[in-house]
Chain A
Amino acid sequence: MTQPSAFPPTRRMFLEHLAGVGGTPLLLAGMSALGFGIEARAATPPDLSGGAKGKSVVILGAGVAGLTSAYELSKAGYQVTLLEARDRVGGRSYSARKGTVQKELGGETQLCDFDDGYYINAGPWRIPYWHLGYLHYVRTFGVPVELFNNDNDHSYIYYKNGSGPLAGRAVRKQEVAADIRGYAAEILAKQINQGALDETMSKGDRELFLSYLRNEGYLTFKDFKYIGTEGRGPLVNPGAGLNPGVDSQPYALSDILHSKTWATLQSVAGYDQQRTMFQPVGGMDQLPFAFAKHLGPIIRKGHVVEQISQTPEKVTVAYKDAKGHKGVIVADYCIAAIPLSVLKGIDMQVSPAFKQAMSGVSYALVGKIGIQMKRRFWEENHAIYGGHIYYDDPMIGSISLPSTGWMGKKGVVLGYYQFGSSAAQVSAKSHKERLALAVAAGQKVFPEYAENAETAFSIAWHRVPFNLGGWAEWSTEGRKTAYPVLNEPDGRIYLAGEHLSYLTGWQEGGIESAWQQVDKIHKRVSA
């Protein structure tokens, strides 16, 4: 999921700072001092060897963090019970398909009626190559994965808030990318050739920089002009016999600038958005399902936690099951792997400071809609295979095309992906109105959109019971004050989840947080 830009400093940023002020030797010394080598991140679960000493752990929430905790602790010999409020596992790792029923607070209940085999990942939908914990379990359970196309050169940018001839129409991303790159290089090269850098750069550096610019911006060899490039896509593709193709002409620099389409070119350049990205074949919930298969009766679905209390010796969790029966589980330790947005509403016996810290974070408002299309017109008519259509209405955000079922019959398109107050506004609409909003937007980009839209499933995570939000959003202040408190146990109660990581909004955050907490419990038991 897309992250807000204002990150507090991470360890990585601290190390980057060291590299900046002291160069690589200081950086490496810093890394040693922090206790890790070049490959800084844990790629495998903690070593929980040495026995569980008959201890028991009750885990709350069968999302990715709860499932990871339960799997590792039960493997290490602990007596584990995992309580899940819903009748399914996975939490936000969730795919809607035929028969999926989803109730929204204050809204309607939807029944997903996609055709068999079609789905939308309503929560997380892409796995970065460096999310080693997630990929560890993919390997462990043999979950089939496929590539997720997060960047498509041939996709469209539809920006209507700018001005000029490129505003308010679908423009190929590859054209904008090539042209703005070309013009920027040409302008720089011109400045250098006119002597702008004579004072500040050596002759040798200037010559190399000019070579770089010529290469970077597809400039003509002798006079450093951008006159277009085949990489922006030809008007007519080259072919056999007497067809050499027809070159396209660049847009005017001013037209690109005023269209603001250039604002999309950095969109997937971040570390967590770069190629290569993956997705499980058949839906994001396949990994939770694989965990559940291994955990078997350890998971008790339909158990809603009502109270968490503790003594110096034990933790007691009171629950109500799907039939309305109340019961308790008594264990040595508890891991509450429930979003803080939900947990803060549960009667929980922790210190006032801990309780206050739980309110020190806000949760992202997030909305998505999956629309089943009768045919894959984006592939058949537009040669767009996966990736995102960029759309500058925050109510829509992006329209994303499926990275599965290539060239098949139908497909489920992500019709919008919005955040914050835009998500609040869209979620106030009925499902039918949400679909109408999405279809009207899609129709501006694809003339085939409305006539092919068959059925849809929408979600507003802030209105989903047992989630109440997309993901945790820490302020700089919250990271300093509340965050450290919640990373440590309160008595026998530990928390885990994406909210206790610097990977908020990613399943990897939940997995690595779970690893950290089970390791703490095991060290305490082993001490």
Chain B
Amino acid sequence: MGMKTIALAAAAALLAGPALAEDGATLFSQSCAACHQSKGQGIPGAFPALANNKFVQGPPEQVAHVILNGRGGMPKFSGDLTDEQIAAVASYVRGTWGNNSSTVAVSVVTAERNAADLPPPSDGQQAH
């Protein structure tokens, strides 16, 4: 239910252009804020801060790679977020809380997804 609503919102946001940042914020609060905290400040010793973060502002390919594949304690989001959603949330994080970096193109995320041979999100079908 939730995921489909988000996907539609993301698609609409992409078409609308300027709404992208806002949608990234929503995605961030849903999928990322539990650990990285609402203002990207993180929790020292547990979850890295994304605010004023060098890695976050680095090459977009690497940022997309980590969101798709996970790293350390972070889960992979390749099965939960579309390339459009990942591009939106990464672009949002790269342009807020003291970060001042370029947006991430959907094509960059798609290229990383293909390079890692990750299937796109499904309907949430799961076998226990």
Spell out A's residues near B (CB within 8 Å). Answer: 2, 105-107, 161, 260, 263-264, 266-268, 341, 345, 359, 362-365, 388, 390, 392-395, 397-398, 419-428, 460, 462-463, 465, 468-469
Which chain A residue shows the least CB distance to B122? A161
* Given contact pairs A267-B127, A362-B73, A428 touches B46 in the complex (Cβ within 8 A): no
| A260/B31 contact (C-beta < 8 A), A105-B46, A362-B70, A468-B46 known | no
A266–B123 alpha-carbon span in the complex (Å):
19
Residue-wise interface mask of B (60-73) relative to A, using a CB-CB cutoff of 8 A (1 in contact, 0 not)? 00000000001111
Find chain A residues with CB under 8 A from B74 CB.
362
What is the CA–CA distance of A469 and B72 in the complex, to the nearest angstrom? 11
Count, chain B residues at interface, CB 8 A: 31
B-chain residues with CB within 8 Å of residue A465 when the two chains form the complex: 46
Q: Is the CB of A397 within 8 A of B2?
A: no
A463 to B127, CA, bound (A): 26
Report the Cα distance A422→B1, complex, angstroms: 13
Assess whether B75 is in contact with A424, with CB atoms less than 8 Å apart: yes
A461 to chain B, nearest CB (A): 11
A420 interface neighbour in B2, B47, B72, B75, Cβ under 8 Å: B75
Contact A424 B76 (CB under 8 A): no
Out of A263, A425, A469, name the residue touching B73 (CB < 8 Å). Answer: A469
Judge whether B43 is part of the interface by a CB distance below 8 angstroms.
yes
Contacts of A390 on B, CB cut-off 8 Å?
Answer: 128
CA distance A2 to B126 in the complex (A): 12
B13-21, B33-41, B50-58, B112-120 - interface stretch = B33-41
Residue of B nearest to A266 (CB): B127
Q: Is A392 a contact of B126 with CB atoms below 8 Å?
A: yes
Across the two chains, which residue of chain A brings its CB closest to B75?
A420
A424 with B46: CB separation less than 8 A: no
> Do A363 and B73 touch (CB < 8 A)?
yes
CB distance B31 to A105 under 8 Å? Answer: no
A420–B34 alpha-carbon span in the complex (Å): 12
The chain B residue with its CB closest to the CB of A437 is B2
Assess whether B31 is in contact with A468, with CB atoms less than 8 Å apart: no
Give the chain A neighbours of B45 by CB distance below 8 A. Answer: 345
**A106 and B34 form a contact (CB under 8 A):** yes
Please state if A345 and B127 are interface contacts (CB–CB under 8 Å). no
Give the residue of A266, A341, A397, A421 whose beta carbon is less than 8 angstroms from that of B75: A421
Interface residues of B (CB under 8 A from A): 1-2, 29-35, 37, 43, 45-47, 70-77, 79-81, 123-128
Residues A393 and B1 in contact, CB atoms below 8 Å apart: yes
Please list the 9 inter-chain residue pairs (A to B) with the smallest Cβ-Cβ separation, ordered nearest first: A428-B34, A267-B128, A427-B34, A420-B75, A421-B80, A161-B123, A345-B45, A363-B73, A263-B127
A423 contact set on B, CB distance < 8 A: 75
Judge whether B75 and A260 touch: CB under 8 Å.
Answer: no
Contact partners of A359 in chain B: CB under 8 A: 72
Chain A: minimal CB distance from B27 (Å): 10
Beyond A161-B123, A392-B124, A393-B124, 12 extra complex contacts between A and B, CB < 8 Å? A2-B128, A105-B43, A106-B37, A106-B43, A264-B128, A390-B128, A392-B125, A423-B75, A425-B30, A428-B29, A428-B31, A428-B34
Beta-carbon nearest neighbor of A395 in chain B? B2
In the bound assembly, the distance between CA atoms of A264 and B45 in angstroms comes to 39
CA distance A469 to B80 in the complex (A): 19
- Asked whether A428 lies within 8 Å of B33 as measured between CB atoms, the reply is yes
List B contacts of A395 (CB < 8 A): 2
A107 to B37, CA, bound (A): 9
Q: Which residues of A contact B35 (CB under 8 A)?
A: 106, 424, 427, 462-463
Give the complex CA separation of A468 and B43 in angstroms. 11
A159 to B19, CA, bound (A): 34
